[in-house]
Each structure stands twice: as structure tokens, then as C-alpha cells.
Amino acid sequence: MGGNFDNAGEVSSNIKTVLKQIGLPKDVIRKAALVAYESEINIVSYARKGMIRLRVVPDSIMIEAIDEGQGIPDIEQAMQPGFSTANQKIREMGFGAGMGLCNIKSFSDVFHISSEVGKGTHLRMIIRASSAVLNS
């Protein structure tokens, strides 16, 4: 839920647990958890409500962050490292320095963002897993 910082990160912890149970390589799990976590922080910080969807297929992990909220007027600007509209509350949590979307992009193998002002934002990330480990 947007605005509720108390449990921010819980979804990502659950994702991490699930991926561990599947037995994916550590660095793949770490990337996925990180991407999910930054997305979760964004939803909590800026949206009314949102969801994180996880899909695991044999060679990759897809994470989607879909929210209903204010949307992003200028995506190019929002992607710039250091650009932020965060309030004090977000900054006190150690976020809001304009690194979230950059981090998500740099830890994803495929990154797609679309947003509509007044409606919400949709992020889709793919993290590739090495197929060798998945066969085990």
C-alpha cells in the first residue's frame, strides 16, 4: 500500500525466499531481490497502491511493478541519476536520492517502463538466469 513504510521490503524478502527455494544462483537472486525492493520502495513512496508480480521461467525471472498513482510526467528526467521528487519521510528511510530507477535498470537485463500521469506506472524487468543451474 502506498504511504505505508512499515512493511516496505516485505514483498522483496518473500520473493527472495521463493527464489532461494527454487535454487537459483545467488547473484541472480540478489539482482531480483534488489530490483523488487527498489520497485517496492517506489510504490510505497509515490503510489496509492500497487503490486509486484514475479514470474519465473526456466531461463529468466520477470518482475513487474504495477501501481495506481500519480504516474511520471517525464520518464527521461525520472531516469536521470539524482533526480528525485521524494519527501522528507522517504529520505529519512535512506531513499529518495534519485537512484531507484537507475538501480533497477542497471541490475536488470531487460528494463521497460511506461507511465501515465494520474493513473500509474508499470515497470517490467527481466533478469536472466544461467540455464545450467536451473536444470539441477
Partner 1 sequence: MTLHEIRKLLDAEVLIGEDQLGMEVNTAFVADLMSDVLAFATAGSLLITGLTNPQVVRTADVLDIAAIIMGRGKRPSQETFQLAEEVNIPILTTKYILFEIAGRLYARGIRGCIEKVGSK
Q: Which of 52, 95, 127, 129 binds partner 1 (CB under 8 A)?
A: 95
Write the interaction track for partner 1 spanning residues 53-82; mark x where CB under 8 A is met and - where it is not: ------------------------------
Q: How far is the CB of 84 from partner 1 (least distance, A)?
A: 10
Q: Listing from the earlier edge strand, what are the strands of the sheet with 110-116?
A: 47-57, 60-69, 120-128, 110-116
Asked if 46 interacts with partner 1 (CB under 8 A), we say no
CB 118 within 8 A of CB 70: yes
Asked if 106 interacts with partner 1 (CB under 8 A), we say yes
Report helix angle 26-46 to 100-107, nearest 10.
150
Q: Report residue 17 CA to chain centroid gap.
A: 16
| Residues in contact with 130: Cβ distance below 8 Å, sequence separation at least 6, in sequence order | 25, 28
Asked if 108 interacts with partner 1 (CB under 8 A), we say no
Asked if 127 interacts with partner 1 (CB under 8 A), we say no
Asked if 93 interacts with partner 1 (CB under 8 A), we say yes
